[in-house]
Amino acid sequence: MTSPSPAAWFRRALPTRRRAIAAAAVVVLLATAVTWAVWPQGPGVRTENAMLTVRSGPSGDQPVELDTTFYLPDDASSGRKVPAVLLAHGFGGTKESVRSDAEEFAGRGYAVLTWTARGFGRSGGEIHLDSPDHEVRDAQRLLDWLAARPEVRTNAAGDPQVGVVGGSYGGGLALLLAAQDPRVDAIVPMITWNDLSRAFLPESTGGAPTEGVFKKGWAGLFFGGGGNVGSGPAGLSGATAAQPQGAPASAGPPSPGPGAGPGTGPGGVPAGAADPSCGRFAADVCAAYLRIATTGRADQAAVDLLRRSSPAGVLDRIKAPTLLVQGEADTLFPLGEADANARGIAAAGTPVRVAWFTGGHDGGSGPRSDEDRVKFLTVQWLDHYVKGEGDTPGDDFTWSRIAGFDALDRGLVATGFRRADYPGLTGNARREIPVAGPAQPIANPPNGNPAAISSIPFAGGLASLLDGVAGDVPGQHARFESTPLTEAVDVAGAPTVTVRAASPTGEAVLFVKLYDVDPDGAATLPNGLVAPIRLTGLPQQVQDARPVTVTLPGIVRRVEAGHRLRLVVATSDQAYTTPAQPTVYTVAVDGAVTLPTVSGEPIPTAATLWRWVLAGLLAAIAVGLVVVVAVVRRRHRRQDRSVHPEYADTPLAVRALRKEYADGFVAVSNVDFEVHPGQVVGLLGPNGAGKTTTLRVLMGLTQPTAGEIYVFGRRLVPGSPVLSRIGALVEGPGFLPHLSGLDNLKAYWRATGRPWEDAQFDAALEIAGLGDSVHRKIKNYSHGMRQRLAIAQAMLGLPELLVLDEPTDGLDPPQIAEMRRVLQRYATDGRAVLVSSHLLAEVEQTCTHAVVVNKGRIVASGPVEEIVGESPSVLFDVTDPVAARAVLDRLHGVRVLPESDGQLVVDTNGTARSEVVAELVRAGIGVDRVVPRRRLEDAFLALVGENSRGSGDR
C-alpha cells in the first residue's frame, strides 16, 4: 500500500475491531456472571431496632428490656399487611445470630421479629431457661406488640397471624409459647428438647431423671456460656466461650451455615451486678445447676424446675400445627426428644410433621441438601399455616442419612428419604443381630478419670463420624461383637439390647454404645451417641443379674454388608458424671441387638434433574449433528454440478478473479486467463504480483472475493472434486519430516483414497531422480531434493492439469534443463501445465504461452512469441553512446530503445547484428560488448516497468 487512505485504514482496522468487540462481549459476560454470583440477593427489607420493655414474671408486672429487631418487607404497610414470624435464637446467642434467617423470611413476605432473650446480650433480666413465667411470657408480650403493628396481619384484635420458629433454646420457646398462647398459628421448633431434665440427666433403661446420669459436658458448656457473660474469668469469656455461645444459635436450621452468626457474646451488661458463681442465670436455676453438678445427681426440686421449662407436660395444649426438625448428630437433644414431642402433640389432634436431618448440636446445619430440605419444609409449613398460601403440607416423614464424603469439597453428603407415615424410633421393621462375648469384668475409674471419649460438644459432624474421636479405655469396657453382616442394614431409630450387670456395691453406671466395625477393624460410633444407664440392686455375680433392656439413642446409619456390630459397655465417659469410687463391675450381653429399620423412597434430588439435563444435552447434540450433516449433504447435493459448455475441454479458465484480504489489501484485482490442453503456460510477474494468491485460490485453499475458476468446465470452489484432476506444487514442498521420501509419497497417495495402481509411483520417482535417497528421511534432504520430490508428488496419478509454483527453485542448471524437458513432454495427450515463475528465461524456454501479472492485474497474455514480439533487440556497450545513437538512427529500420546508462538497447528489426557493428566501427565508435537482449525480459520490463517496488507482497 503506497498511499494508505483513511478508508483503507478503516477497513484494515475492522477485523481487529471485530475482535475487540468479541473480547469485550466475553469480558462483559464474565463480569455479569461474577456480579450475579456475588450480588446480595433478595428484595428490599427494612429493619427497626428497638429496646422494648415488656412486663412479665409470675405476676406479669416485672419490667424487662428486650433488644429487638423488626424486619419488614419493603412493600409491607398498613394497607398491605403481612403475616409475621417470631424468630427465636439459640442459647448463648442474640438476635444477631438469626439475622440471615430473618432477612430470608422477610424476603419471603413475612414481618419478622427477632429479639435477644432475657439474660443474653443487651437484653435485661436473668436466664430462666425458657420458663413459662419469664421467657415465654416475654414472647407473649412480643405477640401483643406484633398485633399492634399496623403492618402485621391479624386474625382478631390483638391476635397476630404469626408463626414461631427457633432452634434449640428458641425451639423450646416455640413449643412452650404455643402451649401457653393460642394466638400462635404454627411453630417450627428445631433441634430442641421435650424434657430438659431427661436431656441433661438421661437414663436409657427408662429410669427417672433423678436416677439419670448427669450430662456434665453439655451442662457445663451451657452454664459456662450463660453464666460467664460479662463476668467470667478471662479464659472463658474469650474465644473458647464464644464458640459454645454462638454455636447453639447457629447450629439449628434454617441457618444457612455454621458461620451465620456467632453470638455477640458479652454485651453492654453491667458486670458488677452479677453473682460470680451464677452469672446471668436466675438464682433458682443457678442453685439447681450447682446442686446437680456437685453431686452428679438431681433432686426432685431440680427436676421439677427443669420440667417446668419443658414442653413434655404441656404438649396437649399445643394447637398450632407443628413442624419438628431434629438433628441426628446431636448428643444434647437426640432424636428421642423430637419423637416424644411428636407423639404428645399428635395425641392432641394437632397436625405434626417430623423431619430428621444429619446435623444437630454436633453436626451443624448438615450438608447442603439437608439445609435445602429443612428450609423448604419450613417455608412450606409457614406459607400454609400462617400466610394461608399453598396446599396443606402432608404429614409425611423425611429423613436423611450420611452417604459419605463429598468428593469435591470433602464435606458430607447426605441422601434424603421420604415415607408417608412417621414410624417413630422403633422403625417399621426390625433386624435382630446377635452379638456375642463372654461376661467381662470392667473397672470404674476413680473420679471418672481416665474416661472414654465418645463425643466432643461442637466438634462438628466430621469428628463424630471419624473414628478418631471415639476411644475406649482398656480395662474399662467390655466388647460384644456380631459376625459380619451378610447384607447391609439401614438402621433408622433407636436400637435396643439386653444387658446384665453385677456390681459389688449393688449399683453401676454404665455406657452402652453400638459401633459399626468395618472389615479392617476400624470402628465408628455413629454420631458419638451413647446410652448412659444407672442400674441399682445389682447382685455380686453376673449369673444372678436380671436382664435389663437398654434403648440406645436413635441413629440413622447404613451398616454395610461385611461389617460387624460391636456393642461396647463402658464404665466411663468424659461427657458424663460417673461415680467417684473405683469399682469393678461384671457385664454380660444376652442375645441380639434389635435394629429398627425404616423403608422409604429416596427423595429425588437435583442429581435426577441433572441426569435429565445430561440426557437432553446428548440428545440435542445427536440431533444437532444429524441436522448439520443433513444440511451439509443437501447443500452438497444441490451443489453446482453443471459443466460450463464453453470451458468443458479447457483444463483451466480463470474469470475476473478478485481476492481481497480481510485487512482490505487487494492481492488480485482482476485476473482472466485460460490454459488449454497441450499448453505450458507461464504465469509471470514480479514478486508480489498476485501469482501465489491466484494459485492458492486455484488449489481451493483460499476463497476468492469475486470471479470464477473453471476446471474442465466445472466451477471450482474449495474442496471441489474436480481438484483431484490437478496436481500441484504451491509455495514450496510440504512433507512429513520424519518419513522417507517414498513413504511421504505413499502417505500422500493413501490420503487421496484412490486406487494404488493409478499413482504411477515409478514414473514420479523417475522424475524426482533421487535414487537411493528416496529412502532417507525428508529432514535430511537438501532444498533441491525436496523440490524435486514435491514435483514428483504433484505428478502422482498424472493429473490433467499440473500447477507448479516456482518449480526450478533450488535446482541446479542441469536439473533445470531436465525439468524443462519434463514439463514440455508432460503437456501432451491433452494435459496442460501452469508454471508460475519470476525467472524470465525459464518461462521463455519452457512455456508455450505466458500470462504476465502485475499488481494484481493481467498486463499481457498469449503465446510467448506474441508477447515477445518480432523485434529481437540487442544491447550495445559502446565508448560514445551519443555518437553511436546518431549512427544507429541513420540505419534503416534500426530503432534505439529509450534506455540509458551508457548502454544502447537496439531493435535491429531484421538488420544483421554484424552489419550494425560494422557501421559503428566505421564511424569510429568502439564497441566493447554486443549482447542479445533476452527478449521476454524486454517485453516484461516494458509491461511492468522496471521498478516493481511498492507492489507489496501479493
State yes or no: cis peptide before 733, omega within 30 of 0: no
Decide if 777 contacts 740 (C-beta within 8 A): yes
Q: Is 53 in the site for another protein (CB under 8 A)?
A: no
50 vs 736 by CB, closer to another protein: 736
Closest CA to 196 of 179, 180, 181, 218: 218
Contacts of 777 (CB under 8 A, 6+ apart): 737, 738, 739, 740
CB of 825: closest distance to another protein in angstroms? 4
Classified as helix, coil or strand, 245 is helix
CB of 896: closest distance to another protein in angstroms? 45
CB of 484: closest distance to another protein in angstroms? 12
Q: Is 830 in the site for another protein (CB under 8 A)?
A: yes
The Cβ-side half-sphere exposure at 433, using a 13 Å CA radius, reads 29
CB of 801: closest distance to another protein in angstroms? 11
Q: Is 463 in the site for another protein (CB under 8 A)?
A: no
> Interaction with another protein in 538-597: which residues (CB under 8 A)?
560, 562-563
Q: According to CB under 8 A, which one of 64, 72, 377, 723 is a site residue for another protein?
A: 723
CB of 390: closest distance to another protein in angstroms? 28
For 406-445, b/e burial (b = at least 16 CB within 10 A) is: eeeeeebbbbbbbbeebbbbbbbeebebebebebbebbbb
Q: According to CB under 8 A, which one of 139, 174, 459, 730 is a site residue for another protein?
A: 730
CB of 610: closest distance to another protein in angstroms? 4
CB of 723: closest distance to another protein in angstroms? 4
Q: According to CB under 8 A, which one of 428, 440, 583, 720 is a site residue for another protein?
A: 720
Residue 219 CA: distances (Å) to CA of 313, 453, 488: 22, 16, 37
708 vs 865 by CB, closer to another protein: 708
Question: What φ, ψ does residue 291 adopt, rounded to 5°?
Answer: -65, -45
Distance between CA atoms of residues 398 and 421, nearest Å: 9
Q: Is 781 in the site for another protein (CB under 8 A)?
A: no
CB of 722: closest distance to another protein in angstroms? 4
Closest CA to 398 of 429, 421, 381: 421
Q: Is 638 in the site for another protein (CB under 8 A)?
A: no
Contacts of 258 (CB under 8 A, 6+ apart): 247, 250, 251, 364, 365, 460
At 759, which amino acid appears? A
Q: According to CB under 8 A, which one of 290, 346, 603, 739 is a site residue for another protein?
A: 739
Closest CA to 900 of 920, 918, 878: 878
Q: According to CB under 8 A, which one of 159, 518, 660, 919 is a site residue for another protein?
A: 518
Q: According to CB under 8 A, which one of 391, 432, 520, 901 is a site residue for another protein?
A: 520
Question: What is the radius of gyration, based on Cα positions, of the chain?
Answer: 49
Q: Is 632 in the site for another protein (CB under 8 A)?
A: yes
Q: Is 646 in the site for another protein (CB under 8 A)?
A: no
Classified as helix, coil or strand, 672 is strand
Q: Which stretch binds another protein (CB under 8 A): 162-170, 573-581, 678-686, 762-770?
A: 762-770
289 vs 712 by CB, closer to another protein: 712
Residue 258 CA: distances (Å) to CA of 323, 356, 362, 610: 22, 18, 11, 28
Q: According to CB under 8 A, which one of 117, 288, 335, 728 is a site residue for another protein?
A: 728
Question: What φ, ψ does residue 920 adopt, rounded to 5°?
Answer: -65, -45
**Number of shown-chain residues binding another protein (CB under 8 A):** 93
Q: Which stretch binds another protein (CB under 8 A): 182-190, 233-241, 583-591, 822-830?
A: 822-830
- The residue length of the chain stands at 954
Q: Is 420 in the site for another protein (CB under 8 A)?
A: no
Decide if 667 contacts 836 (C-beta within 8 A): no
Closest CA to 52 of 61, 63, 65: 65
Q: Which stretch binds another protein (CB under 8 A): 97-105, 428-436, 826-834, 843-851?
A: 826-834
89 vs 401 by CB, closer to another protein: 401
Q: According to CB under 8 A, which one of 760, 848, 909, 911 is a site residue for another protein?
A: 760
Q: Is 767 in the site for another protein (CB under 8 A)?
A: yes
Q: Is 460 in the site for another protein (CB under 8 A)?
A: no
Pairing, β 601-602 against β 412-419: antiparallel
CB of 530: closest distance to another protein in angstroms? 24
Distance between CA atoms of residues 475 and 451, nearest Å: 11
Distance between CA atoms of residues 199 and 341, nearest Å: 13
CB of 276: closest distance to another protein in angstroms? 41
Q: Is 713 in the site for another protein (CB under 8 A)?
A: yes
Q: Is 721 in the site for another protein (CB under 8 A)?
A: yes
Q: Is 73 in the site for another protein (CB under 8 A)?
A: no
Q: Is 766 in the site for another protein (CB under 8 A)?
A: yes
> Interaction with another protein in 370-409: which residues (CB under 8 A)?
403-408
150 vs 719 by CB, closer to another protein: 719
Q: According to CB under 8 A, which one of 273, 614, 631, 931 is a site residue for another protein?
A: 614
At 883, which amino acid appears? A
Take residue 894 and report the three cell numbers written for it.
534500426
Query: Which strands form 62-73's sheet, in the order they lie side by side?
Result: 45-56, 62-73, 111-116, 84-88, 162-167, 186-190, 322-327, 352-357, 397-405, 412-419, 601-602
Q: Is 814 in the site for another protein (CB under 8 A)?
A: no
CB of 546: closest distance to another protein in angstroms? 38
Tell me which H or E stretch contains 353. Answer: strand 352-357
CB of 914: closest distance to another protein in angstroms? 40
Q: Is 48 in the site for another protein (CB under 8 A)?
A: no
Q: Is 788 in the site for another protein (CB under 8 A)?
A: no
Decide if 186 contacts 165 (C-beta within 8 A): no
408 vs 882 by CB, closer to another protein: 408
Q: Is 811 in the site for another protein (CB under 8 A)?
A: no
Q: Is 633 in the site for another protein (CB under 8 A)?
A: no
Q: Which stretch binds another protein (CB under 8 A): 204-212, 335-343, 698-706, 852-860?
A: 698-706
